[in-house]
Structure 1
Amino acid sequence: MNKSGAIAAVGVLGLLATACGSSTGGGTGGAPAENATFTYGIAGDPGALDPAMAISGITNAALSVAYDYLVNRNADGKIVSGLAEKWDVKPTEVTFTLRKDITCSDGTKVTPSDVAANYTHLLDPATKSPLVGILVPPEMKAKADDAAGTVTLSTPQPFSFILETTANVFIACGQGLKDRSILARQTSGTGPYVLSDMMAGDSYTYTKREGYTWGPGGVTNNEAGMPAKVVVKVVPNEQTAANLLMSGGLTLGMFGGTDRARLEASPAITKRDIPFGNSDLLFNQAKGRPFAGLAVRRAVAQALNLDELAKVASSGKGRPPTSLVMKPGPCTGDTVAGNRPAFDAAAAGAALTEAGWQPGPDGIRVKDGQKLTLTYLYTPSMGPGAQAAAEYIAGEWKKAGVEVKLASATVGKMNETMGSGGDWDVAWVSVGVPLPSQLMGFYSGPAAPKGSNFGGVDNKEYVRLSEDAMKLTGEPACELWNKAESALVKNLDVLPVVENTMLVAGKNATAGNLGYMILPTTIRMTKGS
């Protein structure tokens, strides 16, 4: 599969982390509250709302209320209906039969041609959509048959997840297809709610539409306890968000920092833990960089007690990483265990010496007159654990004779630096994709700035295994995808550190979610005590 040159939001992509785990606490046993308002807190402003340009979890949180997919994934990762009521899958194409009752938020009928137009727009190089090469294969073509009520998506070569990838692409319709410029500040979708008011940087208010019957698995938006309005509220500070939740200013939020503990202790709060993707170390292997050689990557990995680092990064709430793909993915199995170097400070020092980095007079190693100085790039937007992890890593690597310059940046600046081939050596990242094939855009193909291969990874075994896996489906494909992931970890092209978890906390409200994205038809409001 060819790769897109678009820059994905590596810092906090967080596209899809599936809701799982049981809910406990208050707010679940009351009578349904009718005509209520559900207020959901997100950590940053979503920016432009055009679904063709939305790659960050925060932006998608604002879109998921108003847009649908061709198909959906349930909490077990299984495909269920969406705009399509049935589908026929072949290795190089999938044909969807649309429901006949779908309408856009402006009242117009949604046709297969409308769906095809979404993909044609996405795949037009002039659009420069960051979804291409990550969520949508660049070679994909769309063909509609309005008379038959079908739309067919095809690729020239077999593609393992030709069906599953469509559960990631929001479908616009109506006036938004005629004039895409309006989508930056209003919605034009088939979803259960419509954007009715917005205050950039503060809140986005959605109103329930009538006649919606084509939700995941055929669910409607008229179930008992579903809110009349949904407000997506921008609350950058987690402590503020926790205070708002306790006082009723929010009805649901996601928490991964220090305020998580006090919410977990409150009997008035509904609690649910969900997996939320990995925090990984990505090494810049560009020519002339210290990490261009495996020996130095292995040495700095051996210098870290990864179990201890995982606790520091997640405040003890994380889990051992088992995959590079967010859960639940289509493939099971552990691609991480046994593939990361064990903690061995002595071996780390010996490896650096063997690689030519000799101890210097000030404790920092030197080679050819140059100090072993690394620029460590991270964003505090990944939560307080990102800062704690940075300081821990800098301290441990200093013991091994490595000088670390911490470079804190916004998500945008971090993406700009990595995407332009800028000055960085190692980055703390979270690449949140639900399909193994979507990793290819990050770990193969052209290096930045020509592509999304930010680390300049050149792992021939990974490419071979991935290309072979792409031709298969089901368990045979998964066996190869798992081997491909393992090849990346073994070669330390990426070093998985911890599988993060987030606390989904609510007050008189519950909802399922995929990462930051609320599943709007699962929202249930209850009357307060």
Structure 2
Amino acid sequence: MKNVGPAAVLASLSLLAAACGGAESSPSGKPVEGGTFSFALPADPGLLDPAMGILGVTNTVLSLAYDTLVNQTPDGKIVPGLAEKWDVKPDSVTFTLRKDVTCSDGSKLTAADVAENVNHIADPATKSPIYGVLVPAGMTAKADEAAGTVTLSTPKPFSFILESSPLMFIVCGKAVKDRSLIAHATSGSGPYKLVEAVPSDHYTFEIRKDYAWGPNGATTEEPGMPAKVVLKVVPNEQTAANLIISGGLNGAIVRGADRKRLEATPGVSKVLMPEAKGQFFYHQGDDRPGKDPAVRKALTQAINLPELGNISSSGTGRPVTGLVGDPRPCQGDSVTGRVPAFDPAAAAAGLDAAGWKAGPDGIRVKDGKKLSLRLLYITTRGAGPQAAAEYLAAAWKKVGAETVLNGVIDTKLPESLNVTQDWDVTWLPIGVTLPSQLVGFLSGPAAPKGGNFAHLNNSRYNTLVGDAALKPGEEGCKLWLEAESALFENSDLVPVVEDTVLIAQKGAKFELLAGLFQPTTIRMTGAG
């Protein structure tokens, strides 16, 4: 597998699968026992090894089968998971593991298993795209089997050493030593086990009846938990909405035009969930227009950002206040007053001053080269990103820049973003829960050698995150927020909107957190 870089992790994620399942009926209204829960995936998850998971949809799938050392509640509180307690120091955290945890193959979870997960991801030979994002750079793990503990350490103090733990899926059993076993299968301690994988069609999971170590003591003996979970690959949102209404699906995440239709449908439960924020980046490579900060500022001034946010979110977004999603460890607003305001006249003047003069066709030229931008975006996030791309192209044409649209599916994004780098601007929603997860692709070695896909080199950002990382989480928050602001002031990236999505539910209830299933919350209700 190509080393596509950590940035691909952040890009959060057949018409009708052959697998059976859907809304179960219960005339009594009581929880349905032994039911099948079905959910729509917008794209195929690809490789299922947690160390190589590069798509948001991949982690949605993996969350059914894998546990983490600790769990996080919607309000950001850390609660026990595989670990029953922990001891935090500035540069390490020691977890004491539960003694009753078993893997889906029947083997006992060991401290050595946990340590090997972290060390495998940190091994340069693995080329894990989550290293430096979901697993902090430089982290190592050491097991003490006799004490039942595992210690995660970093070379120097790290702000969110504990808060990173809810993001690490722990592989156990034979797959710890042979990762080929989980390319298209699972080997975890979670409440479900993958029993059938038909790529681009469906993925079927069966319940583990012996599971008893979920959040807050949750088990799989709870009334109404489904015996099977079928994840159907349904790229078309209209099709997914139709299946929800007809009972062919119990759940789906809907972003586009069908959202209003589902919200008005009797029997469909509606839950709103914040999603990765909308923003765009400028490529700052030596041969790109975005290398010049004056050009970046002018292109930003050419955009009415509130209007773009409304278009990109199909009218369901809200003002953006930062780059980190909920639950946010650092509360505050790093955006307001930090982004160049909408001013087309100033944009035109700025491009003139930068040496880009209008040609006979209205497109600006400098040193014989046209001001042409290749705009990269994901096509599997509903109609919003497509409409946003078209809006950007039209706005930039008015100030003399031509734009070529390049829409790709999730699985093609990593190669375009990091390897071929055939883009000048990219609309890339970021889905992180810690500001430290951004550092690996907002600074450091540029792609394709590193995760810094936009070739950013903001010295103020680099200094601020370096200082912030050495302070305990809340103490360093002011610096983390200032670091984000430094990016916006320099037009390195442009925050546009915080989106929301509809989690449509019929015949079942369930919870998602940061795009991940909370599997022990799934209940077949028979309603709808």
In structure 2, the CA distance between the partners of 1:440 and 1:5, relative to structure 1 (3 Å rule), is farther
Does the Cα contact within 8 Å between 2:4 and 2:419 map onto a contact in 1? Answer: no
Q: Which SS does the other structure have where 2:101 is aligned? A: coil
* Residue 213 of structure 2 is aligned to residue 217 of structure 1: no
TM-superposed CA distance for 1:178, in Å, is: 3.2
Q: 1:241 maps to what in 2?
A: 240
* Residue 319 of structure 2 is aligned to residue 320 of structure 1: yes
Q: 1:48 maps to what in 2?
A: 47
For 2:471, the aligned partner's letter is: L
Alignment of 1:54-203 (within 5 A): 54-203=53-202
Question: Which stretch of the first structure deviates more once superposed, 180-189 or 216-225?
Answer: 216-225
Deviations 1:322-357 (A, max 9, x none): 111121121111111111111111111111111111
Does the Cα contact within 8 Å between 2:7 and 2:452 map onto a contact in 1? Answer: no
Q: 1:7 maps to what in 2?
A: 5
Deviations 1:140-162 (A, max 9, x none): 11111111111000011011111
Q: 1:401 maps to what in 2?
A: 400
For 2:84, the aligned partner's letter is: E
TM-superposed CA distance for 1:5, in Å, is: 6.7
For 2:444, the aligned partner's letter is: G
For 1:183, the aligned partner's letter is: I
Q: Which SS does the other structure have where 2:126 is aligned? A: coil
Q: Which SS does the other structure have where 2:441 is aligned? A: helix
Matched residues in 2 for 1:99 and 1:253: separation?
34
Does the Cα contact within 8 Å between 2:285 and 2:291 map onto a contact in 1? Answer: yes
Does the Cα contact within 8 Å between 1:303 and 1:343 map onto a contact in 2? Answer: yes
Structure having greater relative contact order (Cα 8 Å, sep ≥ 6):
1
Matched residues in 2 for 1:86 and 1:417: separation?
43
Q: 1:23 maps to what in 2?
A: none
Q: Which SS does the other structure have where 1:232 is aligned? A: strand
TM-superposed CA distance for 1:423, in Å, is: 2.8
Q: Which SS does the other structure have where 1:144 is aligned? A: strand
TM-superposed CA distance for 1:54, in Å, is: 0.9
Matched residues in 2 for 1:403 and 1:472: separation?
45
Q: 1:445 maps to what in 2?
A: 444
For 1:355, the aligned partner's letter is: A
Matched residues in 2 for 1:188 and 1:288: separation?
46
Question: Which stretch of the first structure deviates more once superposed, 298-307 or 224-233?
Answer: 224-233
Q: 2:255 maps to what in 1?
A: 256
For 1:314, the aligned partner's letter is: S
Q: What number of residue pairs does the alignment pair up?
A: 515
* Residue 412 of structure 2 is aligned to residue 424 of structure 1: no
Matched residues in 1 for 2:411 and 2:224: separation?
38
Does the Cα contact within 8 Å between 1:11 and 1:414 map onto a contact in 2? Answer: no
Matched residues in 2 for 1:528 and 1:409: separation?
38
Q: Which SS does the other structure have where 1:475 is aligned? A: coil
Deviations 1:455-482 (A, max 9, x none): 1000011011101000011322111111
Matched residues in 1 for 2:191 and 2:410: separation?
30
* Residue 269 of structure 2 is aligned to residue 283 of structure 1: no
For 1:512, the aligned partner's letter is: E
Question: Which stretch of the first structure deviates more once superposed, 418-427 or 457-466?
Answer: 418-427
Deviations 1:67-111 (A, max 9, x none): 000011111121111000111101100000011111111111111
Matched residues in 1 for 2:147 and 2:259: separation?
51
Q: 2:347 maps to what in 1?
A: 348
Does the Cα contact within 8 Å between 2:9 and 2:130 map onto a contact in 1? Answer: no
Matched residues in 2 for 1:303 and 1:373: separation?
15
Alignment of 1:285-434 (within 5 A): 285-420=284-419, 422-434=421-433
Deviations 1:214-273 (A, max 9, x none): 112322222122111111111111111111111111101100011111001112100011
In structure 2, the CA distance between the partners of 1:199 and 1:209, relative to structure 1 (3 Å rule), is same
TM-superposed CA distance for 1:12, in Å, is: 6.4
TM-score (ref. length: structure 2): 0.94
* Residue 449 of structure 2 is aligned to residue 487 of structure 1: no
Does the Cα contact within 8 Å between 1:358 and 1:365 map onto a contact in 2? Answer: yes
* Residue 492 of structure 2 is aligned to residue 462 of structure 1: no
For 1:108, the aligned partner's letter is: S
Does the Cα contact within 8 Å between 1:213 and 1:221 map onto a contact in 2? Answer: yes
Does the Cα contact within 8 Å between 1:113 and 1:146 map onto a contact in 2? Answer: yes
Q: Which SS does the other structure have where 1:376 is aligned? A: strand
Q: 2:525 maps to what in 1?
A: 526
Matched residues in 1 for 2:35 and 2:417: separation?
44
Matched residues in 2 for 1:378 and 1:218: separation?
42
Q: Which SS does the other structure have where 1:126 is aligned? A: helix
Q: CA RMSD in A?
A: 1.8
For 2:265, the aligned partner's letter is: S
Matched residues in 2 for 1:51 and 1:417: separation?
22
TM-superposed CA distance for 1:358, in Å, is: 1.6
TM-superposed CA distance for 1:274, in Å, is: 0.7
Q: Which runs of 5+ in 1 are unaligned?
A: 16-25
Deviations 1:202-223 (A, max 9, x none): 1111111122111123222221
Matched residues in 1 for 2:10 and 2:3: separation?
19
For 2:11, the aligned partner's letter is: L
Q: Which SS does the other structure have where 2:475 is aligned? A: helix
Matched residues in 1 for 2:493 and 2:518: separation?
31
Does the Cα contact within 8 Å between 2:134 and 2:167 map onto a contact in 1? Answer: yes
Does the Cα contact within 8 Å between 1:254 and 1:503 map onto a contact in 2? Answer: yes
Matched residues in 2 for 1:407 and 1:185: separation?
30
TM-superposed CA distance for 1:169, in Å, is: 0.8
Matched residues in 2 for 1:384 and 1:444: separation?
31
Q: 1:36 maps to what in 2?
A: 35
Matched residues in 2 for 1:153 and 1:120: separation?
10
Matched residues in 2 for 1:528 and 1:370: separation?
62
Matched residues in 2 for 1:505 and 1:30: separation?
20
Matched residues in 1 for 2:115 and 2:9: separation?
31
* Percent identity of paired positions between Structure 1 and Structure 2: 56
Matched residues in 1 for 2:421 and 2:53: separation?
24
Matched residues in 2 for 1:125 and 1:371: separation?
41
TM-score (ref. length: structure 1): 0.94
TM-superposed CA distance for 1:61, in Å, is: 1.5
For 2:66, the aligned partner's letter is: Y
Deviations 1:107-166 (A, max 9, x none): 111111111111121111111111111111231111111111110000110111111111
Q: 2:18 maps to what in 1?
A: none
TM-superposed CA distance for 1:408, in Å, is: 2.1
TM-superposed CA distance for 1:179, in Å, is: 2.1
Matched residues in 2 for 1:231 and 1:10: separation?
26
For 1:524, the aligned partner's letter is: R
For 1:72, the aligned partner's letter is: N
Q: 1:18 maps to what in 2?
A: none
Deviations 1:168-210 (A, max 9, x none): 1100111212322111122111000111222222111111112
Deviation >6 Å, runs of 4+: none
Matched residues in 2 for 1:277 and 1:328: separation?
12
Deviations 1:440-496 (A, max 9, x none): 011000111111111100001101110100001132211111111111111111101
